[in-house]
Amino acid sequence: MNRYYFDHNATTPVSPEVFEAMAPLLREDFGNASSIHYYGQRAKQHLETARRQMAELIHAQAQEIVFLSGGTEADNLALFGVVRNSPRPARHVITTAIEHPAVLGACAQLEREGVEVTRVPVGPEGIVDPGDIRRALRPSTVLISVMHANNELGTVQPIAEIAGIAHEAGAVSHSDGVQALGKIPVDVEALGVDLYSITGHKVYAPKGEGALFVRKGTAIGSIQFGGHHERDRRPGTENVPGAVAFGAAAAWLIENGQAEAARLQGLRDRMEAAILGRVPGASVNGGGAPRTPNTSSICFDGIRGEALVIALDLRGFAVSSGAACSSGAVEPSHVLTAIGLSADRARGTIRFSLGRLNTAEQVDALVEALVEAVGQLRRIAPAERAHA
């Protein structure tokens, strides 16, 4: 049986060009980038080349790139590094109800530390109103954190306008750009953000490498302690092979990203049109909003998402449900309930996220499998439909 992967927002395979760039760092140039001998200096050169590649991709300066272990650490460094470092006696953070757990979890911890947090709601299309951000401001607001693109819906937030609101209020602006990088153009100068989180494994580099853009002059403290690596922002021996891999992924995107985004949007639109035309009771979540070109969140009335994920997997297609499984209990996605979906409709949502592995033939095969699976599930579980 052929197997096809439609879950690129979860992670991506390592691309050939990234693997080739990374391999020598595991075999020959294996030195510690902090060592002053030949091997160390070779590693340092590779590290700084990768830093320049990342900076070029997002229109930053090389010294503004801090290499980390991934998007979660980048989000944590941004939030804790700014808020805990603030001299204000009372501190307030603004974020949204649809952020990734890396941000929402950090905000929950800040609340336990006495920081006030406002989670601004979003509209039915999954977009936050900048006016609501402005209305949430307080004299004590020190940070506004709003994701650039949502991981489930693909909806793109008005980050430039929100960053302007933050700066007018004297607050720092952070955006989680993990799901935006590689899918839409990212220009931190045009966006005006002070901090921007990214990770490698969403753009065909290995897991375990990420970065945080820290605009020059932004006051941010470390949240880990040890050596003086990464300009005192993140101690610990640098993951040079991971950074080189991330840099190679960035170089590919600089050359090919725009064309690939257009190709993926064509495939995504082809898929959505076919599903909506052939599957009764299907609807696209956030379909009227600006979205990343590869992401589609579709609700299927009368279907449990996890059952459909399994049914498609048995047919050779990897997709993701709109629900989170924890301790054996399936909970509706906080993103989908935040845009107004009922718990049942949220549980009946599937996320399709396309990538470099996918072709038009695979999309057509996915639609055929989906039509068959939905029909079968509705026949064997008609009671579920009544509750949707």
pLDDT digits (tens, 9 = 90+) for 234-245: 989 899 999 999
Question: pLDDT tens digits, residue range 111-136?
Answer: 999 999 999 999 999 999 999 999 99
Task: Look at residue 384 and tell me if it is in a domain.
Answer: no
- Confidence band for 157, pLDDT divided at 50, 70 and 90: very high
pLDDT band at 383 (very low <50, low <70, confident <90, very high): very low
**Residue 286 sits in a domain of what CATH number?**
3.90.1150.10
Residues 298 and 267 occupy one common structural domain: yes
Residues 193 and 287 in one domain: no
Q: What is the pLDDT of residue 329?
A: 56
Count the Cβ atoms, other than its own, within 10 Å of residue 139.
9
Residue indicated by tokens 């690939």:
260
Residue 235: predicted pLDDT: 87
Q: Are residues 261 and 247 in the same domain?
A: no
Asked if 107 and 226 sit in the same domain, the reply is: yes
On whether residue 226 sits in a domain, the answer given is yes
Taking each helix axis from N to C end, the angle separating 71-83 and 101-112, rounded to the nearest 10 degrees, works out to 30
The answer to whether residues 271 and 338 belong to one domain is yes
Are 272 and 314 part of one and the same domain? yes
Give the residue numbers marked as catalytic.
325
**Contact of 315 with 358, CB cutoff 8 Å:** no
Instruction: Write out pLDDT tens, residues 199-236.
Output: 999 999 999 999 999 999 999 999 888 988 988 789 89
Domain that holds residue 282: 4-11+257-372
160/188 same-domain check: yes
> Residue 21: inside a domain, yes or no?
yes
Domain boundary among 252, 277, 293: 252
pLDDT of residue 382: 57
pLDDT above 60 for 81: yes
Residues 321, 207, single domain; the answer is: no
319-357 residue pLDDT tens: 999 766 544 557 899 999 999 999 999 999 999 999 999
Residue 224 structure tokens: 């880990």
234 within 8 A of 68, measured Cβ to Cβ = yes
Q: Is residue 387 part of a domain?
A: no
- Residue 86 banded pLDDT, cuts 50, 70, 90: very high
| Residue 33 reports pLDDT greater than 50 | yes
Residue 365 within any structural domain of the chain: yes
* Burial bucket for residue 340 (CB in 10 Å: 0-12, 13-18, 19+): middle
CATH of the domain at 156: 3.40.640.10
Report if residue 156 sits inside a domain: yes
pTM of the model: 0.95
State the pLDDT confidence band at 364, using cuts at 50, 70 and 90. very high
Structural domain ending residue among the three candidates 252, 271, 296: 252
pLDDT at residue 279 above 50?
yes
pLDDT of the residue at 340: 96
Number of domains in the chain: 2
What CA–CA distances, in Å, run from 326 to 67, 96, 174, 262, 329?
Answer: 30, 22, 28, 36, 5
Q: Does residue 382 lie within any of the structural domains? A: no
Region of residue 322 (phi > 0: left; psi between -120 and 50: alpha; otherwise: beta): alpha
Sheet holding 116-120, edge to edge: 65-68, 210-214, 195-199, 172-176, 141-145, 92-96, 116-120
Q: Are residues 33 and 175 in the same domain?
A: yes
Round to whole Å and give the CA distance between 4 and 91: 47
pLDDT at 177 (0 to 100): 98
Same-domain status, 206 and 117: yes
Residues 235 and 118 both lie in one domain: yes
Last residue of a domain, one of 252, 284, 313: 252
How much is the pLDDT for 231? 84
* pLDDT score, position 386: 42
Do 321 and 187 share a domain, yes or no? no
- Predicted confidence band of residue 367 (pLDDT cuts 50, 70, 90): very high
CA distance 97 to 339: 9
Mean pLDDT, the chain, rounded, equals 94
Name the percent of the chain lying above pLDDT 70: 96
Banded pLDDT at 380 (limits 50, 70, 90): confident
